[in-house]
Amino acid sequence: MGLFEKERDLNRPPDRIHLEVDGSFFRLKANELHLRLDQFLLAHLTWRSRTSIQALVRDGFVQVDHATPEHPKGAGSPQTETRPGRKLRHGSQVTVIIPEELRLPEPEGDVSPVDVLHLEAGVMVVDKPPHVPVHPSGRHTLDTMIQRVHAHCAREMADELGLAPRLSHRLDRETSGVLLVGTRTQAHRELRRQFEAHEVQKTYLALVSGEVPAENGSIRWPIGPDHHSAVRLKMTVTEDGLSCRTDWRVVQRLAGYTLVECDLHTGRQHQIRVHLAAMGHPIVGDKLYGPDEQLFIRAADDTLTEADRAQLQMDRQALHHHRLVFKSPKANHPVTVESPLAHDIQEFIDQLPNA
């Protein structure tokens, strides 16, 4: 269950949290749930103490739209509730107003523009630069791709849209290239269905270390969590992992490097990076799957040395989402969108002699 409204404008910091009372969350049947308001909030706002939650309620920052037999999801008219012990039933809607002093500050400065590669009813495809996260998280809360998309749509498409656009897939922060956006609810759902059904064709360009001997190949090693790594999100090739497939072919041979094109038939976490590294040819600049995962840890702590940077050779992983083929939700025909190789990868290649 998300804490924030899905359709909210991500260019504005949230001012409220919305929660629905659900018996399954507490492993109870719907008719068995009779829970105090402060207990319910404590289960969801785990970073707050019960005393602070009770104070939040008494101070008028909580609204409840109670479920009734006539209105099992509430009547649509929430009322301020100041009694921490008020009982809740399954289906009730609870809204917590974030006090002004606890809200994130408004973003300062202009949001960067987006480079639109394709636009049609319900769909927009943009070119993602490297180093830009797709969503706000951690230390990266401003000028993300979704914020740039929201700002663009607010300026260019305000008369056409009645909702906040949503990304149909994700790219790592350092990865550049094609990013698909659903600008209407039905289109977004159809695009998500295509991704989940593996009907979307995804092609990446990767610059790898070493000269790959073969011209092409297919990697089908299963991938799962790397339990021996100090980095929780790291994946590895493992017999008990999830099945996956990466087809690749050589695009350009360079002295000490190879530019390869990779087609993803599955979409496992870090799939291309794991497969190429396991093949003995890690992606240039990959801090996690390159020469030493300590580079990733030091990068996260902002403690990379000049020697580290020289070892990485690029300040980001040289991975670019080059081509995406999907079916138009409205016209029902295939659409192919391409993004040229990112400038920083191309500049690195240009200074290398051919093999």
CB 234 within 8 A of CB 293: yes
Helix (H) or strand (E) holding 209: strand 201-209
Check whether 343 has a pLDDT greater than 90: yes
CB 204 within 8 A of CB 264: yes
Q: What is the mean pLDDT of the chain?
A: 89
Instruction: Pull the structure tokens for residue 22.
Output: 């659900």
pTM: 0.72
Domain final position from 102, 127, 148: 102
The answer on 145 and 64 residing in a single domain is no
The answer on 124 and 94 residing in a single domain is no
Lowest mean pLDDT, pick from 97-101, 200-204, 322-326: 97-101
Q: Which of 192, 132, 189 is nearest to 163 (CA)?
A: 189
The answer on 139 and 281 residing in a single domain is yes
pLDDT in tens, 108-155: 557 889 999 999 988 999 999 999 998 877 667 778 898 888 888 876
Q: Is residue 81 included in any domain, yes or no?
A: yes
The answer on 251 and 133 residing in a single domain is yes
The answer on 187 and 65 residing in a single domain is no
The answer on 75 and 157 residing in a single domain is no
CB 91 within 8 A of CB 29: no
- Which of 38, 127, 172, 344 is labelled catalytic? 172
Mean local confidence (pLDDT), 272-296? 97
Residue at 78: amino acid letter: P
Q: Is residue 126 included in any domain, yes or no?
A: yes
Check whether 164 has a pLDDT greater than 70: no
The answer on 149 and 90 residing in a single domain is no
The answer on 66 and 170 residing in a single domain is no
In the chain, how many domains are there?
2
The answer on 133 and 95 residing in a single domain is no
Domain final position from 73, 102, 131: 102
Residue 117's pLDDT is what?
97
Residue 354's pLDDT is what?
81
State the CATH number of the domain containing residue 73.
Answer: 3.10.290.10
Residue 285 pLDDT class (50, 70, 90 cuts): very high
Distance in angstroms (rounded) separating the CA atoms of residues 81 and 59: 9
The answer on 120 and 98 residing in a single domain is no
Q: Which of 328, 216, 230 is nearest to 288 (CA)?
A: 230
Can you say how many angstroms the Cα of residue 348 is from the centroid of all Cα atoms in its chain? 27
Q: Is residue 10 included in any domain, yes or no?
A: no
Which range of residues forms the domain containing residue 146?
A: 115-350
What percent of the chain has a predicted confidence (pLDDT) above 70?
90
Check whether 298 has a pLDDT greater than 90: yes
Check whether 101 has a pLDDT greater than 70: no
Residue at 316: amino acid letter: R
Residue 172: active-site member:
yes
Distance in angstroms (rounded) separating the CA atoms of residues 76 and 183: 26
Q: Is residue 222 included in any domain, yes or no?
A: yes
Beta bridge mates, 263:
203, 247
Domain final position from 58, 77, 102: 102
State the CATH number of the domain containing residue 221.
Answer: 3.30.2350.10
pLDDT in tens, 236-254: 999 999 999 999 999 999 9
Q: Is residue 1 included in any domain, yes or no?
A: no
Q: Is residue 2 included in any domain, yes or no?
A: no
Q: Is residue 167 included in any domain, yes or no?
A: yes
The answer on 120 and 87 residing in a single domain is no
The answer on 124 and 90 residing in a single domain is no
Q: Is residue 9 included in any domain, yes or no?
A: no
Residue with more model confidence, 106 or 132: 132
Residue 110's pLDDT is what?
72
